[in-house]
Structure 1
Amino acid sequence: MDLEITKKNGAKYRLSDYGIVKDIIVESPEVILRRRQVPGRPGAIDYGMDYGDKRIKVAFKFKHEHNIDYANLRDELYGFLLDEDSYFIQEKRSKDEWRYEFVDFGQAPINNYGLAGHNVSGYGWHVRLENAITPEQVVKGGEIELVFVTAGLPFGETTYTTMDLHSTGYDENLDVYGTADNIDFDYTNYSFTTSTFTIWNAGNAAVQPETMYVVITVRGLTAAKSFTIRNNSTGDVFTITKALSSDTLVLNGIKPTVNGINVFRNTNMQAISIKPGFNSFTLSGGTFSSVDIDFRFYYK
């Protein structure tokens, strides 16, 4: 198994280049119950729940040849693991168990099964390192535990969007798509010319436009008075009350624009969420040339 780290500047690091990832524990998001106890009443009043942080714990062993190399390698790990900015991590595994033989210091350990680490999924997490790194030096190596905590959303987020999937279709040879993404091979279309259509959200968390990436683009839009986008599966309705003529409407999260100009005041001030699974859409009130539904999949 392996862990790939991608910094905001695009720099990538793999822990397998420095040693062995012994275990990766991906916890569920914290569950924060909203309850109130009332004196004289048995039990508690349930007001629902919220998601807290998610933690990813990594047991890691790095290898050194000479005693002085231990300090050099330790400090190199500190250099890219400790960062003021958050970064993106992805879990990688092979189909079978990895076994290694070590080489000289500065060279990557050899996986003697010749197995490459692939994405378990096409998603990862935006995180910060939560714990101080406290290495324990052992014979020709050091062992550490890394504890990452999500920075922002406690959900996994795909590196690709639905329009990427629409362009390529699902291809197991493309490493961007993982083996656990829940993609429906029959529903990889996210661009339409019809006023009714159905899309598939492969994630198990609803896409909320206030905090998650979702962009709906309607091109060549003409409407006399108003135009409506309805997600029948969630009941969400977005309406723009404005005459349109071969315009481009973009609903970027909660921000609507027409030809790049903000038109929030000319709408019903609502947005479109996307639930897990199938979502049925209806567009009405005008004509258009195409509509794209672009979003990422999110996983608990």
Structure 2
Amino acid sequence: MELDIQVIQQDGSNYWLSDLGIQVEKFSPPAPTFTRTYTPVGKYNVASSETHTSERKIPLVFDVKTIDSVDQELMRLKLFDLFRGYEDFYVVSSVIPSIRWPVHADDGFNVDPYEASPIMTEDITVNLVVTGGFGETINTTANMENNIPLGFDIPFACLPPYRFTNQSDVKVFVGGSIPLLADGKTATLTFHGDVASQLSITNKTTGQVFQLNQALKKSQTLILYGMVPVVDGVNVYSKGNHAYLDYVKGINELLVAGATNYDLEFDTRYYV
């Protein structure tokens, strides 16, 4: 398969580079970069800090075919606009079209003719910085039923989507390279149901318990995204136990208590 790249801009404009006369030579995302700091402890010991994600760059290498020198200059302007450095955009590889990379162009780049040729350029390298450090599945788990992405090893017994009705003990799967943490890349938990006074949702895998001390009706919507619970758009953090839910890589077992006549949905992207 010939490598091609789709560029999707914030205004919805999208281009396959091959349609513009651009031949992609290389697009090879490196592994995520993690950093730590180290502090001497005593004479013969060193303590390390928590791991943090640092800058991750993808070199995009390509050349451009044009008709003549005027067309070459017009393509130069098109490339400057296409790989604008002042805003983020997505790139998608034709090899793995289920993953998009949120990026912005870093540094400048040169568009030089190949040996003064008016119809071919030298190889052009645009350094793409991955915004947020990770690529992500285009579809969330809510939309993966008929389009399971390759490479995530989702167990057959735990396939998305993750929607449950009156099931107190359920399992969801987190694929990709990282766990989902409430203070970072996370998941959306949506609940509709009847609650007399207190709802609790436990991730038995991590041992975390979220509680909401409030009555709910089936017509209301509770969303737990990150560290703040919201009911019908209203922050209800003060009515909970100030806890949150993380999700490990792999299978997570969730337990619902205190509710009747309810639906629960777990939705997320997978990050690589």
TM-score > 0.5, shorter chain as reference: yes
Letter in 2 for 1:59: V
Q: How far apart, in 1, do the equivalents of 2:89 and 2:163 lie?
A: 31
Q: 2:206 aligns to what?
A: 234
Task: Tell me which residue corresponds to 1:104.
Answer: none
Q: Matches of 1:137 and 1:37 in 2, distance apart?
A: 53
Aligned twin of 2:237 = 264
Determine the structure 1 residue equivalent to 2:181. 208
Structure 1 contact 129–146 (Cα < 8 Å) conserved: yes
Contact 2:194/2:215, CA 8 A, preserved across alignment: no
Q: Quick check: which one's strand share is greater?
A: 1
Residue 107 (structure 1) aligns with: none
Secondary structure of 1:148's aligned partner: strand
State yes or no: 1:21 paired with 2:24.
yes
- Say what the alpha-carbon RMSD is for the aligned residues: 1.9
1:222 & 1:179 partners in 2: Cα distance?
A: 39
**1:64-103 equivalences in 2 (<5 Å):** 64-93=66-95
Return the letter of the residue paired with 1:29: P
Q: How many residues align?
A: 262
Shift of 1:284: 0.8
Cα pair distance change 1:252/1:40, threshold 3 Å = closer
Give 1:156's aligned amino acid.
G
Q: Distance in 1 between matches of 2:243 and 2:224?
A: 10
The answer to whether the Cα contact below 8 Å between 1:248 and 1:259 also exists between their aligned partners in 2 is: yes
Superposition deviation, residue 68 in structure 1: 2.1
SS class of match (2:221) = strand
Contact 1:87 1:127 in 2 (8 A): yes
8 Å Cα contact 2:193/2:216 also seen in 1: no
Determine if contact 1:201/1:279 at 8 Å carries over to the other structure.
Answer: yes
Cα distance change, pair 267–4 in 1 and its aligned pair in 2 (3 A): same
Asked if the contact 2:181/2:247 (under 8 Å) is kept, the reply is yes
What does residue 99 of structure 1 align with?
none
Which residue does the alignment assign to 1:116? none
In 1, the alpha carbon distance for the partners of 2:212 and 2:41 equals: 45
Q: Take 2:152 and 2:4, find their aligned partners in 1: how far apart are those partners? A: 18
For the residues of structure 2 that align with 1:64 and 1:258, how far apart are their CA atoms?
Answer: 56
- Residue of structure 2 in register with 1:35 after alignment: 38
- Report the secondary structure of 2:37's partner residue: strand
Asked if 2 retains the 8 angstrom alpha-carbon contact of 1:209 and 1:273, the reply is: yes
Q: Does 1:125 align with 2:101?
A: yes
Over 3 Å counting, the alpha-carbon distance change for 1:86 and 1:295 in structure 2 is: same
Q: In 2, Cα distance between the equivalents of 1:48 and 1:257? A: 30
Secondary structure of the 1:288 match is strand
| 1:290 positional shift | 0.9
Q: Which runs of 5+ in 2 are unaligned?
A: none
Q: Give the TM-score of the pair, scaled to structure 2.
A: 0.89
Q: Deviations over 1:229-280 (max 9, x none)?
A: 1111122221101233434322132221223322110011222222111010
1:121 CA displacement: 4.9
Are 2:120 and 1:141 equivalent residues in the alignment? yes
Question: Alignment partner of 2:70: what SS?
Answer: helix
Whichever residue aligns with residue 134 of structure 2, its letter is F
CA shift at 1:39, angstroms? 6.5
* Partners of 1:4 and 1:14 within 8 A in 2: yes
Distance, in Å, in 2 between the alignment partners of 1:188 and 1:57 is 33
Structure 1, unmatched stretches of 5+, are 94-119, 172-176
In 2, the alpha carbon distance for the partners of 1:183 and 1:237 equals 25
* Distance apart, 1:203 and its partner CA: 1.8
1:213 Cα deviation from its structure 2 partner = 4.7
